Amino acid sequence: MKTICIAGLKGGIGKTTTATSLAYLLANEQDKKVLLVDADVASGMVPVMAQGISESIMSPALEQVLDDTEYTKPKDLIKKSEYGVDVLTANGYLDLVNALLTIEKTNDQIFILKSFLESVAEEYDFCVIDCGLKMDITVINAVLAADLIISPMRLGGYELNASEIFDNQIFDLRELNPDVEVYALITCFQKS
């Protein structure tokens, strides 16, 4: 399974749109088995992918993975969407889980998502992870699980500054994931 992390430190740059569109296109136009993970505390992809799915899609599945809550099988947490993409959802509880993981005194809390994804890797061709706009424990988990990081960006002053900070943070994490590839994706053009 190839894991693609969509991340950046600025809101409104197209992370969720890129993640959901990429997952949909891989599943429906390339006939690939795709797992879409919502690693954003704002849970932006849930309304996009939840149409036609029962309320159980709103359950805090990623939080259960990160919080090491008891569950029988990883597949029990993954829901099927009507768009041909399986989803691992999140909700507002992810903020609390981030705080709890931040105060833990172990190093393995940054590899929880990677371990979970390895347990389902045989079932998928791709995993696309939609990240939030801050480098919290959830996003660090996503970055360390990724083979490829795509950082959407708009052309502008604040966006370039956020992109530079993000690049520096990824550079620091490369020691733990040296083979990860990082690409910028220009998502919106503005007249200037």
pLDDT band at 92 (very low <50, low <70, confident <90, very high): confident
**Mean pLDDT confidence for 81-95:** 86
Q: Tell which wins on pLDDT, 185 or 188.
A: 185
C-alpha span between 157 and 162 (Å, rounded): 9
DSSP codes of every residue in 108-128: GGGSHHHHHHHHHGGG-SEEE
C-alpha span between 125 and 63 (Å, rounded): 23
Q: Which amino acid is at 138?
A: T
Tell me what the pLDDT averaged over the chain comes to: 81
**Mean pLDDT confidence for 152-163:** 66
DSSP conformation class of 93: T
Pairing of strands 86-88, 34-39: parallel
The pTM score is 0.84
C-alpha span between 70 and 50 (Å, rounded): 24
Q: Which two tokens stand for residue 116?
A: 């979970």
pLDDT band at 27 (very low <50, low <70, confident <90, very high): very high
3-state secondary structure of 67: coil
Query: Cβ distance 160 to 68 under 8 Å?
Result: no
Is residue 57 scored above 60 in pLDDT? no
Q: Is 130 exposed, middle or buried (0-12, 13-18, 19+ CB in 10 A)?
A: buried
